[in-house]
Copies of this chain bind each other. A is one copy, B any other.
């Protein structure tokens, strides 16, 4: 019954040998594969949450994992998010590497006490003797016409919490590589999955496929190699450009790439920076990009006030003040509750609003 808790040694190699070096996968599929590999490689890894077992998760990210790795290692919990996080913390104290899921972003709120006061502080409180290698998966952001509380953006909250690291992938490759990187870290990571991108496909170069890249950042990812671990620590250039930097993360990266194509038609060469890590923020990458373009727009779905856009804008301003041609623009959600499906296209930064932001920066005149 419990023989699968420690994965048999031979299994991973066998399986790895069967998969090709590169696959076309959806983000959902890439995350599922990453979890499969993590469970095979790390006998201490556990997946837990509401409906993650038999059902395989409401987004099927954990599909098949319980059957393959055992119902002890991939298990459903009762319906209580504080319980899921509190239990994960205790499992980490017992030497496990839990990968809990909260089913939707809006249901992370009941777990905030455990996340802020416990998950983020146990290593500190215990003077490093009780590390918290916990990766909390949070299907995040809007765009799927879902019920209330199923489309929240909590990155500003998470990024403010001492003791947490926060990351959000923007495509299948990022999802696969960043999830594996996060689960190998000895510290707690909040992993924000852009749910509107779950079914979006892309090429994914697998680890150990021999095609692993060595160069840093975008080059490695675009060049077809699987990102090496040093590629996964900072931001990445999703599209190089000269006139202006669009900074985004999660689902907004794809939208910004679309905007960049449209802007290119008007001769505006936009660089798109996929921030990836929302804590720590890659200030160097921001400074390098905006140092070159001298103009920046930050885009996020979360409400504007006290959103992470303010932080990103201020980091850019601190580093590039002397060369900035215009104040950094923010194109964001409004200071309103995430609206019902009918209105979500009015709420989420759309192409027009991002183009307006770009225009304001380009047309900015001092005084």
- A317 and B335 alpha carbons, distance in the complex (Å): 20
- A323 and B367 alpha carbons, distance in the complex (Å): 7
- A366 and B366 alpha carbons, distance in the complex (Å): 16
- A324 and B366 alpha carbons, distance in the complex (Å): 11
Point out the residue from B149, B156, B326, B364 that lies within 8 Å of A306, measured CB to CB. B156
Q: A240-297: which residues lie under 8 A (CB-CB) from chain B?
A: 279-281
Point out the residue from B156, B314, B364 that lies within 8 Å of A156, measured CB to CB. B156
Q: Convert A308-332 into 0s and 1s, putting 1 for each residue whose CB lies closer than 8 angstroms to a CB of B.
A: 1111011101100111101110100
Q: Considering only CB atoms and an 8 Å cut-off, how many residues of chain A contact the other chain?
A: 51
The answer to whether A121 and B337 touch (CB under 8 A), given A112-B109, A311-B310, A366-B322, is: yes
Point out the residue from B113, B120, B322 that lies within 8 Å of A112, measured CB to CB. B113
Contacts of A364 in B (CB 8 A): 321
User: 7 new A-B pairs (CB below 8 Å) besides A106-B117, A314-B314, A322-B367?
Assistant: A120-B337, A160-B306, A162-B336, A306-B308, A310-B310, A314-B328, A322-B366
Most buried by B among A82, A113, A157: A113
Between-chain CB contacts (< 8 Å), 23 pairs: A82-B110, A109-B116, A109-B117, A110-B112, A120-B337, A156-B160, A156-B306, A160-B302, A162-B303, A163-B337, A279-B305, A280-B305, A305-B311, A307-B311, A309-B314, A310-B311, A310-B315, A314-B330, A317-B328, A321-B324, A321-B364, A321-B366, A322-B367
The answer to whether A321 and B327 touch (CB under 8 A), given A160-B156, A162-B336, is: yes
Q: Is A148 an interface residue (CB 8 A)?
A: yes
The answer to whether A305 and B327 touch (CB under 8 A), given A109-B112, A121-B337, is: no
Contacts of A113 in B (CB 8 A): 109-110, 112
Contacts of A280 in B (CB 8 A): 305
CB distance from A339 to the nearest CB of B (A): 9
Q: Is A159 an interface residue (CB 8 A)?
A: yes
- A336 and B160 alpha carbons, distance in the complex (Å): 10
Q: Is A15 an interface residue (CB 8 A)?
A: no
Instruction: Give 9 nearest A-B pairs by CB, closest first.
Output: A160-B306, A109-B113, A310-B311, A322-B366, A321-B327, A159-B306, A310-B310, A112-B112, A110-B113
CB distance from A338 to the nearest CB of B (A): 8
Q: Is A2 an interface residue (CB 8 A)?
A: no
CB distance from A367 to the nearest CB of B (A): 5
CB distance from A285 to the nearest CB of B (A): 16
- A106 and B112 alpha carbons, distance in the complex (Å): 11
Contacts of A330 in B (CB 8 A): 314
Q: A148-205: which residues lie under 8 A (CB-CB) from chain B?
A: 148-149, 156-157, 159-160, 162-163
